[in-house]
Amino acid sequence: MLLRLVIKDVVIISHLELDFSKGLSTLTGETGAGKSILLDSLQLALGGRADASLIRSGQSQASVTAVFHPRGLAEQLDALGLIPDDDDELRLRRVLNADGKSRAYINDTPVSARVLRDLGSELVEIQGQFEQHGLLAPSRHRAVLDSFAQLEPLASTVAKAYDEWKDSAQRLQDAQTKLERDRQEQDYLQHVASELAEAAPDDGEHDALADQRQRLQQADKMAEFLQESLSVLQADTGIERLLHQALRLLGRAPSLLEQQIAPSITALEQAADLIGEAVNQIETLASEQNGDPYELERVAERLFLLKDLARKHDCDPNDLPQVQAQLEAQLTAIEQADETLQRLSEEVGSLRQRYDDLADQLGSKRRKAAAKLDKALKAELAPLKLERAQVETRVQELAEDAWGPQGKQSVQFLVAMNQGEALGPIGKVASGGELSRFLLALKVVLAGVNPVPTLVFDEVDSGLGGATADAVGERLDRLADHLQLLTITHSPQVAARASTHYHVAKAAKKGKTETQVRLLDKAERVEEIARMLSGSKITDEARAAAQALLEHVG
């Protein structure tokens, strides 16, 4: 809902702040007083076209701020990364410079004019914008009819059924494409799968073989080292043989020396025993290192095979078992492809039939709703002096290639303003006044389903008087029970029904003309409506008639 409009330096408005409330608000005043400027200002704040001619003479820029209660806009604001202020207000602001360039803001956050326009269209619908955002846009007619008939739940189910059908059809197409590609590669897939099956790689085998090769290489080096050590110990000049030679020589020593050399012999015997024990230990270690002489070669060959296969499949050698499983699964899928395609085809057919049935149900309900909408609309047209108008909410079946999430039907509001004329789109066959009244009637019929909280009508009663003007006022009043309504009017019958009445006038101030807007109290309303009834000279009879009119509609 629009809460406030702040205008600075727009045409003949220097500074103006207007507060708005629920219900029907009217703006009245003499022609040329500036009522259209208020409308242009609001459109600028909502993202409308920026025109430097709107800037007040002598000023470098103009600005307009429209403040709203952001009811029902949480999703849109969240998508923009915006949140309402602490006081639960949403501010749309536009600053226009003399060079024609403008800046747009939402809650002081800079945004593009397009973002401002998109959000503004969710907040306010102005009669001059119907072509873009409202009931004149054929793209919206289907949704409007569904809202009128409360068909949104069924329409949502149809949309879901359509998506499921199309998703399934895409899976079938993808499976067919993949099968064609796989069958072209089947021979190659069988070859590489057989190659892997023959190699039979195990999980973690590569790393285990690498560790084993390292151990075997180290074993060869150890064996070589131990053999060299034994060679030194067991050579003809080795210490063990030298010890035994020394013992033999000492054993032939003269008896006179036996006692003196006995300790030496004992020490040498102990040394010979220790050296012998060391040789035995080294021989044992050496024999342990001498396993299968071809094992290292076999391990190396296996590692080379795994690495070669990994390069061929562009993977880590440890992932070869998974690659093998994938190839076997791919070959199995090719072999079972006909069954898979048959299953997917049946699924597509089933989902298509479900969508078909639901869309037909929706179409049937739409046609019934269209007849009810036309009947309700015709009942509203006669009092608005459009009794000769013919209306048709046309529901047409679409060709299958045009089916979509919205169903199998197109919906368009058509009208002929006079009998005998061909039906056509509303905006192309109705004059400005007829169009305004027709849209008012349609809005009244759709009052409970209108998604935009604020509607603005600019002289919807233009050229009307008496009972017709009263009928317009009565319908605006009814519509204001559901929405916030702003209207610029020259009709006293319409003005009398307002819950809030503003008077727009021009006044000279410091040698410049300015537009001023004043909220009227009860007495002032009588005077203004009397002026609208009688003209510039207000008579007592006009005041009495104005009072009677206010009492009548009140």
Is residue 422, in this structure, part of any structural domain at all? yes
Domain count along the chain: 2
Shared domain check, 293 and 362: no
Q: What is the pLDDT of residue 312?
A: 87
Answer yes or no: is 550 within a domain. no
What Cα–Cα distance (Å) separates residue 135 from each residue in 61, 88, 124, 270?
34, 30, 13, 118
327 and 209 housed in the same domain: yes
Q: Against a cut of 0.75, is the pTM above it?
A: no
259 and 387 co-located in one domain? no
Domain co-membership, 223 together with 282? yes
Instruction: Give the model's pLDDT for residue 63.
Output: 94
Q: Are 414 and 443 in contact (CB under 8 A)?
A: no
| Statement to judge: residues 300 and 233 lie in one domain | yes
Going by pLDDT thresholds of 50, 70 and 90, the confidence category of residue 92 is very high
Whether residue 155 is contained in a domain is answered as yes
CATH number at residue 142: 3.40.50.300
The β-bridge relationship of strands 390-397 and 409-416 is antiparallel
Residue where a domain stops, chosen among 334, 365, 399: 334
At residue 94 the predicted structure's pLDDT band, cuts being 50, 70 and 90, is: very high
- Same domain, yes or no, for 319 and 359? no
Residue 382 and residue 283 in one domain: no
Over range 163-189, report the average pLDDT.
87
Q: Which of 413, 445, 477 is the last residue of a domain?
A: 445
CA–CA separation, 335 vs 380, rounded Å?
A: 68
316: buried, middle or exposed (CB in 10 Å: 19+, 13-18, 0-12)?
exposed
Whether 140 is covered by a domain: the verdict is: yes
Find tokens 């307009």 and name the residue.
Answer: 64
Gap between the Cα atoms of 329 and 324, Å rounded: 9
- Is residue 93 one of the residues assigned to a domain? no
- Residue 287 binned pLDDT confidence (cut-offs 50, 70, 90): low
Q: How far apart, in whole angstroms, are the C-alpha atoms of residue 488 and residue 465?
A: 15
Rounded to whole angstroms, what are the CA distances from 266 to 237, 242, 243, 261, 314? 22, 15, 12, 9, 71
The answer to the question of residue 72 being in a domain is no
Tracing tokens 């080795």 back to the chain, one arrives at 238
Is 358 contained in some domain? yes
Nearest to 162, CA basis, from 174, 150, 154, 173: 154
User: In 376-413, which positions are buried (b, 16+ CB within 10 angstroms) versus exposed (e)?
Assistant: ebbebbebbbbeebbbbbbbeeeeeeebeebbbbbbbb
Largest CA distance in the chain: 172
Asked if pLDDT for residue 183 goes beyond 80, the answer is no
365-415: pLDDT as tens digits: 999 999 999 999 999 888 888 888 889 999 999 999 999 999 999 999 998
Do 326 and 356 reside in the same domain of the chain? Answer: no
pLDDT, one tens digit per residue, over 406-415 is: 999 999 999 8
Q: Are residues 430 and 319 in the same domain?
A: no
The answer to whether 481 and 447 have CB atoms below 8 angstroms apart is yes
Q: Please report which confidence band the pLDDT of residue 131 belongs to, taking 50, 70 and 90 as the band edges.
A: very low
Is residue 203 domain-shared with residue 330, that is, in the same domain?
Answer: yes
Residues 256 and 284 in one domain: yes
The mean predicted confidence, pLDDT, of the chain is 84
Of 334, 363, 384, the last residue of a domain is 334
* Whether pLDDT at 191 is above 50: yes
Same domain, 310 and 205: yes
Range of the domain at 312: 194-334
Q: How far apart (Å, rounded) are the C-alpha atoms in residues 498 and 477? A: 7
Residue 298 in domain? yes
